[in-house]
Structure 1
Amino acid sequence: MTTTFGATSTTDEVLQGVDLSGKRVLVTGVSAGLGVETARTLAAHGAKVVGAARDLAKAERATSEARAGAANGGSLELIELDLASLKSVRACADALVADGRPFDVVIANAGVMRTPFGHTEDGFETQFGTNHLGHFVFVNRIASLIAPGGRLVNVSSAGHRYSDVDLDDPNFERTPYEPMVSYGRSKTANILFAVEFDRRHKSRGVRATALHPGGIPTELARHMEPGEIERMLEQINAQAATEGQPPFQWKTVSQGSATSVWAAFVGQADEVGGRYCENCHVSSVTDGTIGIISEGVRRYALDPEHAKALWAKSEEMVGERF
C-alpha cells in the first residue's frame, strides 16, 4: 500500500523504510535551513551526500550534527560553491567532473530572497543571477555525472506566482526594481529550467522537477524589513478567510524539506518529471490568487516553448552553450 504524504509530513516520515545506501546526492546550500535538513536526513538513511556552500566554515558548523548522525554507510562531505560567481561555479563543477563519481540526485536548494538591488560578480541582477543562472551553469556542467535513472530537483517557490521571467530585461535595466518581482522571476526560472532539462535528458533516464517547500521561517527572509513578515501574514490570512481556508501555518524545517526528498526518491519518475510539486505531491495548474496558502503552479512556469526560450537566453547571458 502506498503511503500518502502531505503538508505536515517530515523528511524522516517520507523516507521511513527507504534505504539510500549506495546512493550519492549533491545538495546546494547546506549552510542553513532546508539544505542542512535535507543533507541530514539523506545521510541518516545511508546516502553519500556532497553538500555545496559558499561559506565552508559556516557549513561545517551547521552540518556537524548531520555528519555525526550519518548511518548505514551514509556520509556528508562539503565543497565550496558561490552561485553568485561563475568563476566559482565553473571551478566547483570542473572539480566534480574531474573526480568523475556519478550522482543519483542533484538537489538545487541554495538561493537568496528579496535582496536589495544589486549584482553578482558577473553583473547579473542578484536574485536571477544567484538563484537561476548560477545553478543553470553548475547543473549543466555536471549533467554528465547524473546517472541514468537519476534526477535533478530544483527548489523553487510559490513566489513564482508573483512574476513570469522577463527575457527582454532580466537585469532590471529598464524596469523599476521590485524585490518580490525579482524573486518571482528567479523562482519561475527554476521551474522552467527543470522543464527544459527534463525534456533534454529524459531519453537517457534522467528526470527533472521543481518544487515549493512551503512557508518556513529560515534565514532566507533575512533581507525583509522589520514587521514585513507580520504584514504579509495579515494579508495572507485575510485572503484565506475570504477563500474559506484556515489561517496560514508555518512549516518546520523538516516539513519544508520533505517535498525535496519525496521528489528525489519517492515520487514516480514519470509523475514528477517536468512538473512542479508541493506538499509531497505534484501540483495542478492554477490561474488563481498569488497568495501562498492555496496550491498551484502558474501556466507560464510549465510552458515548454517558454522554457526553451529561457534556456537560450541563459546561454546567451553566461556565454556558454549546453
Structure 2
Amino acid sequence: MTQQFGATSTTEDVLSGILLTNRRILVTGVSAGLGVETARVLAAHGATVVGAARNLAKAEQATAQVRRDAEKGGGSFELLELDLADLASVRAAADRLNAAGKRFDLVIANAGVMATPFGHTKDGFETQFGTNHLGHFVLVNRIAGLLRAGSRLVNLSSAGHRFSDIDLADPNFEHTPYDPWVAYGRSKTANILFAVAFDARHRAQGIRATAVHPGGIMTELVRHLPKGELETMVKQLNAQAASEDKPPFQFKTISQGAATSVWAGIVASADAIGGHYCEDCHVAQVIPNDAPTGLLDGGVRAYAVDPAQADALWTKSEEMVGEQFD
C-alpha cells in the first residue's frame, strides 16, 4: 500500500491504474447510492459484477450508467434478485449462484436500511437486524464455497455501531422498548462482528473479511427519518465540532463514500484489513467501550471487534435462521 488515501479519496482515486479483468464480484444493494457507484467503478475497471437488488425494475434503471461504463472498460454487469428481508429470497438467490458455479473474488455486502419504524422481516425478525445482518449472514455463508482463495468479504457497517452493542438476549426487541437508532446500532455492530467471525473461520483458506464505515453520505438510507431529524442531527454534530475546535461536518460524495469499500476489497493488504474495521481508506483504531466519543470521532468500539462476542453472534444467528454454517 504505497499510495495513501483518505476521507476525500474517490473510487476512481483508489482504482487509478488498476485493471480488474478476470475478477468476479458480487455487490448487494445496487438500486441506489453506494451500491450503484461501487458496481459502476468495479465494472468500469474490467470486473465482472453481479449486482443484487430487491426491486429489479428500479435497479435496472439505476444501473444504466453501470452498464455503459462496463462496456467501455471491458467489464460486465448483471442483476440478481435478492430481498434480504425474506430468507426464502436469500436462499433462492444463493441457490442460483451456486447452480451457476462461478467463483467470486470479492463480495461487498452493501445493502441495508437505517432507522426504520418498528417492524419485522418476512421471517419475523426485527427489520434492521434481520435485513442488515441476518440476510447477509445467510447469503454469504451459503455461497462461501464459491469464494476463491485470496478472495474477500467487505461488510458495510457504520459509525452508527456506536449507538449500541448487540443484544443477543432480545434481538427482536420483544422485551426492550424499540428505538430506531439503537436498532440500527445493533445491526451495524453485528455487521462488524460477522466480518470478524467470518475472517477467523476462513483465513486459513486465504479468504479474508472486513467491515467498513463509508462516512456520512446523503443516500436513500435517510428515507425513514422524520422530517427535520437529519437537519437537527447535523446541527448537533456541528455544535460538537465547534466545541472541540474542529471543522464542521461535511457530507461525503457518493464516490467518496464508496471508496473505502473498494479500497478494502481491492487495494489494501489482506492481512492489514482482515478481521478489522476500516474508515476513510485506513484501518480504524479500537476505542475502549467506556471512552467518550462522538460520531465525528474515528474508531471502532472494542465490543464490535471482540472475537468472543463475534462467536456468540454467529451461534445466535445460526439459531435464529435455523441453519449451521461452521
Q: Which residue number in structure 1 is paired with residue 308 of structure 2?
A: 305
Deviation at 1:261, TM superposition (A): 0.2
Amino acid at match of 2:155: N
Matched, 1:107 2:108: yes
Alpha-carbon distance between aligned partners in 1 of 2:104 and 2:179, rounded to the nearest angstrom = 37
Q: Which runs of 5+ in 2 are unaligned?
A: none
Residue pair 1:54, 1:83 contacting (<8 A) in 2 also? yes
Deviation at 1:72, TM superposition (A): 3.7
Where 1:69 maps in the other structure, the secondary structure is helix
**CA-to-partner distance for each residue in 1:4-44, whole Å, 9 max, x for gaps?**
10000000000001110110000000000000000000000
TM-score normalised by length of structure 2: 0.98
Deviation at 1:289, TM superposition (A): 4.0
Amino acid at match of 1:209: T
Residue pair 1:162, 1:290 contacting (<8 A) in 2 also? no
Amino acid at match of 1:306: Q
Give RMSD over aligned pairs: 0.9
**CA-to-partner distance for each residue in 1:179-223, whole Å, 9 max, x for gaps?**
000000000000000000000000000000001000000000100
Alpha-carbon distance between aligned partners in 2 of 1:132 and 1:260, rounded to the nearest angstrom = 17
Matched, 1:197 2:201: no
Amino acid at match of 1:134: G
Q: Which residue number in structure 2 is paired with residue 265 of structure 1?
A: 266
Alpha-carbon distance between aligned partners in 1 of 2:314 and 2:191, rounded to the nearest angstrom = 11
Q: Which residue number in structure 2 is paired with residue 14 of structure 1?
A: 14
Amino acid at match of 1:27: V
Residue pair 1:21, 1:72 contacting (<8 A) in 2 also? no
TM-score normalised by length of structure 1: 0.99
Alpha-carbon distance between aligned partners in 2 of 1:34 and 1:292, rounded to the nearest angstrom = 20
Q: Which residue number in structure 1 is paired with residue 180 of structure 2?
A: 179
Where 1:209 maps in the other structure, the secondary structure is strand
**CA-to-partner distance for each residue in 1:83-107, whole Å, 9 max, x for gaps?**
0000000000011011100000000
Where 1:277 maps in the other structure, the secondary structure is strand
Q: Which residue number in structure 1 is paired with residue 56 of structure 2?
A: 56
Alpha-carbon distance between aligned partners in 2 of 1:187 and 1:79, rounded to the nearest angstrom = 24
Alpha-carbon distance between aligned partners in 2 of 1:55 and 1:72, rounded to the nearest angstrom = 26
Where 1:79 maps in the other structure, the secondary structure is strand
Deviation at 1:256, TM superposition (A): 0.2
Q: Which residue number in structure 2 is paired with residue 39 of structure 1?
A: 39
Amino acid at match of 2:202: H
Residue pair 1:115, 1:223 contacting (<8 A) in 2 also? yes
Q: Which runs of 5+ in 1 are unaligned?
A: none
Return 103-112 or 227-236, whichever deviates more: 227-236
Alignment coverage as a number of residue pairs:
322
Deviation at 1:294, TM superposition (A): 1.2
Moved over 4 A (4+): none
**CA-to-partner distance for each residue in 1:156-177, whole Å, 9 max, x for gaps?**
0000000000000000000000
Q: Which residue number in structure 2 is paired with residue 30 of structure 1?
A: 30
Alpha-carbon distance between aligned partners in 2 of 1:157 and 1:95, rounded to the nearest angstrom = 30
Alpha-carbon distance between aligned partners in 1 of 2:286 and 2:239, rounded to the nearest angstrom = 23
**CA-to-partner distance for each residue in 1:258-277, whole Å, 9 max, x for gaps?**
00000000110000000000
Deviation at 1:242, TM superposition (A): 2.2
Q: Which residue number in structure 2 is paired with residue 147 of structure 1?
A: 148
Where 1:245 maps in the other structure, the secondary structure is coil
Q: Which residue number in structure 2 is paired with residue 283 of structure 1?
A: 284
Alpha-carbon distance between aligned partners in 2 of 1:209 and 1:32, rounded to the nearest angstrom = 22
Alpha-carbon distance between aligned partners in 2 of 1:192 and 1:113, rounded to the nearest angstrom = 18
Deviation at 1:292, TM superposition (A): 2.3
Alpha-carbon distance between aligned partners in 2 of 1:129 and 1:47, rounded to the nearest angstrom = 30
